[in-house]
Amino acid sequence: MKKLFKGIGIAFLVLVVIGIFAGDNKEESSSSSNSSSSYANNDDYLKCYGEMTAAHKARGFHERNREASIKVKTEVCELYADGKISDYEGKR
- How sure is the predictor about 4, in pLDDT bands with cuts at 50, 70 and 90? very low
Calculate what percentage of the chain has a pLDDT beyond 90.
55
**How many beta carbons lie within 10 A of that of residue 49, not counting itself?**
23
**How many beta carbons lie within 10 A of that of residue 48, not counting itself?**
24
pLDDT (average), residues 10-35: 50
End-to-end Cα spacing for the chain: 68
Q: Backbone phi, then psi, for 87, in 5-degree steps? A: -140, 155
Distances (CA, A) of 18 to 4, 14, 53: 21, 6, 32
Calculate what percentage of the chain has a pLDDT beyond 70.
61
- Is the pTM higher than 0.75? The answer reads no
- How sure is the predictor about 36, in pLDDT bands with cuts at 50, 70 and 90? low
- Domain ranges for the chain: 1-37, 41-92
